[in-house]
């Protein structure tokens, strides 16, 4: 039950963090007068977003009174974070796949390889915070944490994000069951393909296994 509660809280946290980052990103756009970002700026902003996501997630594993890492929360938090990042990577792959099927060039922005690099660096940052947890308690991360808790405690908006957290919990349960069944039987428990992929397979009699969604 504690594990489910932790996953639920992380789901609420991820959704509120994305909500806050939307306004931060919007503010950065206004600061440059709507100028189109360079590829370097796009990578840098995405990297900062991931870095503080990792940082604030890590704060769930820190005992502020003893300044010690709570490994009981650390491992599941890390697994949920990895699953979250993998889900984002799969979404990026599906977007590029569908654009290709429609005969359009992929939208400019983060490439798949760059996304993998950013996720890898984010994982290394998480490991680094395990060795040096004091760096996790910086002003920006603590501001994010306080803002998230304040939004969560509001009546209406907090309730909406808790609903999102509930569906996040269900999605995580399905993904964990999929992973467990895959380890046991060698195939996922839930194998769902998009309608577009099925239609394309019927026409071309081909399989796009790399783009199957495991939910």
Within 8 A by CB and 6+ apart from 126, the residues are 54, 57, 58, 78, 81
Give the number of C-alpha atoms closer than 13 A to the C-alpha of residue 106, restricted to the C-beta side.
11
Alpha helical stretches, state H, 139-213: 139-153, 156-185, 195-204
170-189: per-residue pLDDT in tens?
887 777 676 666 557 655 55
Per domain, the residue ranges of the chain are: 2-154
57-95: per-residue pLDDT in tens?
998 777 655 556 777 778 888 888 888 888 778 777 777
Residues of the chain with pLDDT under 70: 1, 63-68, 99-110, 176, 178-183, 185-215
Does the predicted model carry a pTM greater than 0.85? no
Q: How far apart are CA 104 and CA 136, in angstroms?
A: 42
Q: Residue 192's beta-bridge partner residues? A: 213
Q: How far apart are CA 100 and CA 161, in angstroms?
A: 34
């Amino acid at each position: 039950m504690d594990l489910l509660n932790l996953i639920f809280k992380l789901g609420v946290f991820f959704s509120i963090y994305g909500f806050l980052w939307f306004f931060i990103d919007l503010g950065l756009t206004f600061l440059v007068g709507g100028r189109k970002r360079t590829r370097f700026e796009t990578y840098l902003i995405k990297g900062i977003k991931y870095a503080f996501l990792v940082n604030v997630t890590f704060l769930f594993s820190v005992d502020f009174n003893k300044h010690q890492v709570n490994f009981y929360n650390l491992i599941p938090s890390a697994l949920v974070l990895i699953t979250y990042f993998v889900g984002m990577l799969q979404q990026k792959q599906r977007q590029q796949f569908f654009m290709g099927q429609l005969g359009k060039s992929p939208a400019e922005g983060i490439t798949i390889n760059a996304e993998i690099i950013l996720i890898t660096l984010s994982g290394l940052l998480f490991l680094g915070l395990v060795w040096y947890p004091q760096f996790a308690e910086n002003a920006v991360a603590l501001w994010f944490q306080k803002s998230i808790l304040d939004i969560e405690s509001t009546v209406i908006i907090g309730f909406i994000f808790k609903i999102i957290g509930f569906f996040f919990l269900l999605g995580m349960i399905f993904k964990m069951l999929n992973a467990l069944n895959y380890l046991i039987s060698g195939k996922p428990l839930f194998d769902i393909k998009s309608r577009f992929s099925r239609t394309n397979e019927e026409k071309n009699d081909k399989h796009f296994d790399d783009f199957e969604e495991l939910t």
